[in-house]
Amino acid sequence: MNKLSVANIEFAVAEAVLDAYVAATGLCWGFRIQSEYGQSPYNHWAPKLESEVVLTTTERLGSYNDFGPVEISWGPPNDNSLVPSAYLYIFEHTPVYDSKVRLFRDQNGFKVQVHATADIVTDCEEISGPTTVIAQSSLDFMGILCGRCSEQESLDLVGQYMDPECLIFERDNYNVGILRPKSFA
């Protein structure tokens, strides 16, 4: 079941994606889990859990399907390391900490499991203060973001980390290049 739970309040997942981009340090992987609006009395809440960089890989993969399984964890709040990290967006964005993330692939595609804590400031007693955040969801691989690079530049960049033959180059509405799975197009 695809769900995002904040302090034992469950929200169905509306969208969950895995993506990546090339940085000077390697291929940076991230995920985003956007929930649907909750049931009353939480029908004005639609939490989102997002990590722009949960893991950076430097080894060459055959294809994006070869990514994982990996387990990532990070510690207390105010940990000076920037990577990995994630944020919970509910009333405002707040960092999650004491986090354990598991990314893996099964016969149905990519999956993520998250167990973390976020300090939420609100007058709602159920979720004020240090709050447990749990997510488990399937992830659609959106592709590899390539910025303003040309198609050939994008293929060359990504080619350092995987065979780009399984990917197709597109530009989004903002003219950002993306190498998407051919099955996605």
pLDDT of residue 8: 87
Per-residue pLDDT of the chain (185 residues), as tens digits, is: 799 999 989 999 999 999 999 998 899 999 999 999 988 788 888 999 999 889 999 999 998 989 889 999 998 866 556 678 899 998 888 999 999 999 999 988 999 999 999 998 877 777 778 899 999 999 999 999 999 999 999 999 999 999 999 899 999 999 999 999 987 54
pLDDT of residue 60: 92
Q: In the beta sheet, which residues pair with residue 74?
A: 99
Report yes or no: 30 and 18 within 8 Å, Cβ to Cβ.
yes
Residue written as token pair 């509405």: 173
pLDDT of residue 125: 73
Sign of CA pseudo-dihedral 66, 73, 112, 175: negative
Radius of gyration of the chain (CA): 17
Question: How far, in Å, CA of 102 to CA of 99, rounded?
Answer: 10
pLDDT of residue 124: 75
Question: How far, in Å, CA of 170 to CA of 156, rounded?
Answer: 15
